[in-house]
Every structure is written in C-alpha cells, then in structure tokens.
Amino acid sequence: MSQSGDKTEKPTPKKIKDARKKGDVPRSKELSTAVILIIGVLFLTVDGARLTNEMGFSMRHLLYFDFKTLKSPQDMSMLIMQSIGSAFITILPFICMCAIVAYLAQSMLGGQIFTLSKLMPKLSNISPISGLKKIFSSKSLVELFKSILKVTLVTGLCLVFLPSNIIKLISLYNASSISVALSLMVAIILNGAMSYALILLIVTAIDVPYQRYSHNKQLKMTKQEIKDEYKNAEGSPEVKGRLRQLMREASQRKSVSNVPNADVILTNPTHYSVAIRYKDGQDQIPVILSMGRDNVAMLIRAKASECRIPVLEVPPLARALFFHGKEGDTIPYELFVPVAKVLAYLNRLDNKLAHHIDSGFISDLMVPTELSEK
C-alpha cells in the first residue's frame, strides 16, 4: 500500500506548466539529429547537382591561376576571398535550411520554449554526491544502453557500407573532372548519412517513449502535494472568479433550456422572469420550470419570444414567485389563486400572444403584499 509521501499521482496541469516555465520538458537529441540528417539528405538529393557544379566552379577558379597572381599576395588573397565567398553563397540555402530544421526539430518533443533558468548555476551540479547519483541513475543506464546500441549499429553499417564504397572512393583519384569527383563524393556521403539517419531512427523509437516516461515520472506528485496545490488554487481570486463565472453560465443554460416547456412567463417586467408550466393531466399544481433576475431574466424572455410563449408583465406575482418559489418545484400554495387566474385568462384567449394586462387585472389577482416584497 502506497504511503502518502510516495509520488504515485499523475502531475497536475499546473505542475506541468510550472515545469515548462523552468525549461523542464522531454527532449530527444537522437530525434533532432535524425530529422536534420533526413531533411538535409533530401535537400542535397534534390539540389545536389547545382551545389556540386557551383562548388566545382569555385574550386577551379581557386586552383587555376597564373604565375603573376601567385607572385602578388594581394591578388592571391583576393582570389581566395572570392572563391570562399562564392562557395559560401552556394551553400547558404543549405545552411539556412539546416538552421530552420534544427530549430523546428526541437519542438517535435516538448515544444519550443525559451527560458534562462537552465543557464543559472546550481550547487547540485558540482556536488560529488549528486554526481554519483547521476552516474548510477536509471537515466544514465538508459544513455549507456543507447550508446552501446548506436556503436553496435554503426559498426555493422561500416562493415556493410565501406566494402561496397571503397572502390568508389579510390576511383575519385581518376575522376575526369572536379565536378565529377564532387558528384561521386556527395553521393557516397549522402548514402552514408541516410544510413546513419535510419540508425538514429531506430534509437529514437526507443528514446522518445523513454523520455516521455522519464519526464512524467519525474513530475509525479504525492497525494499531499495535490491537496496542497488544490487548496492554494482554491484561494486564488482568479480561480474563484472563474468558478463563479462557470456556475453562472451553467445556471443560465439550465434556466433557458427549460423555457420551451413553459406555458407562460411572468415578468417584473425587467428585473425578474419566472417560467410556469401547467399541463392538464400531467401537473396537479403549476410548476416553476425556471426563473432568473437581470441578465438571466432577459435571456428567459428572449427564449420565450423565440418559442412564441406568452410573456405577461405581472410585477407583484413575478416577484412573489421569484422570492418564495424554487426551480423545479410547485408554486407556493399562497399563490395558487393568482396563478390560476392568470392561466384561466390565457385559456380564454384564442391567441395567447394577443393578451392585454392592465392595472385592474393585476389588482384582481390579489397577490399578498408581504410575498411580493423581499
């Protein structure tokens, strides 16, 4: 049976958010490296011909010069700078692409964050005890396993890759031109890079799930920590305000959702609205389906108009029902007669929406004054 101090509970959204602010998110170096390699290889596969041709031109321009240029340090320096500049412009799109991919690859696991907390010095980083704990931790064992796996796979790749490409490497000496040599060399490099990227994908398939698991395990909380966090959040004015807002919204939705089943809406006319239902054979006594004040009262009236339900302005009766009635309950027995008179009046009309309420009708209802006042 787990103790209260054991970290057995999943981290709360607040704990995850706080950890993220500190830069504590799952990361996989193998995933980023594999993505950069694969995208880079695909880019060179598409644009490799242009790169090799332009790089070959730059090399020929650098290597072919006359004796006069060789004797002039200024001309020689100019020639070298021109060749370097030309080569840089040639590979600039590739460099920009790699930089963008490297930036985006990090967000594939853990998202993109910027924080300075990781740059702050920590005494635990220079503590011998903490260092020993890290060496013999499960994380170090996993890193050791990944390293052994990568070395094993790379060794196998070399045993397969080098014998099949050694002849191609030797033939570079006899290439007919620099462009041909560069094209052949780029093809060999691309094959090797793609093979290594596939190896990294194998390691990544192990590393990514582990990093997620390790991160979640590190953020796990005790039952007491969750209780303390809830207490602190419950006392926050923002949380209280949000809870009140949600409760108001839920109350409004409930009040408005019952209006279509009402037979009549009694209003103050602006401050209070009460929806009454009386179905012959179903209700022995009229039932208060919903009621509200101010904004909710307006919503009830708007819904009633939409559903073509009669809305009667009977201020004393509406106030009495609001102050002394309950939603979902029958009307108070002291108001049986006034409500019965209103329902009887509506039943006599051919068109219930064509009602006309005057002060004489309201007086005849004889609503007890003590009930219509709060």
**What are the tens digits of pLDDT across the range 290-312?**
888 888 888 888 888 888 999 98
pLDDT of the residue at 66? 61
- Does 295 fall in a domain? yes
- Distance from C-alpha of 321 to C-alpha of 367, rounded to nearest angstrom: 10
Domain containing 82 equals 13-114+121-221
H or E, element range at 44: helix 29-63
- Distance from C-alpha of 157 to C-alpha of 273, rounded to nearest angstrom: 79
Question: What is the per-residue pLDDT across 8-54, written as a single tens digit (0 to 9) for each?
Answer: 788 888 888 887 777 778 888 888 888 888 888 888 888 777 777 77
Out of 30-34, 72-76, 156-160, 192-196, pick the least confident: 72-76
pLDDT of the residue at 200? 84
Segment 144-173 shows an average pLDDT of 80
- Distance from C-alpha of 57 to C-alpha of 49, rounded to nearest angstrom: 12
pLDDT band per the 50, 70, 90 thresholds, residue 153: confident
pLDDT of the residue at 1? 42
Q: Residues 87, 185: one domain?
A: yes
Q: Residues 91, 142: one domain?
A: yes
DSSP at 261: G
Domain finish residue from 221, 247, 272: 221
pLDDT band per the 50, 70, 90 thresholds, residue 275: very high
- Does 194 fall in a domain? yes
Question: Residue 189 pLDDT > 50, yes or no?
Answer: yes
List of residues 6+ apart from 178 with CB closer than 8 A: 56, 59, 60
CATH code of the domain covering residue 306: 3.40.1690.10
Residue with tokens 């290597």, as numbered in its chain: 63
Segment 137-146 shows an average pLDDT of 79
Q: Residues 148, 23: one domain?
A: yes
371 and 338 Cβ atoms separated by less than 8 Å: no
Q: Residues 49, 131: one domain?
A: yes
- Distance from C-alpha of 158 to C-alpha of 246, rounded to nearest angstrom: 63
Q: What is the reported pTM?
A: 0.47
Q: How far is CA 353 from the centre of its chain?
A: 50
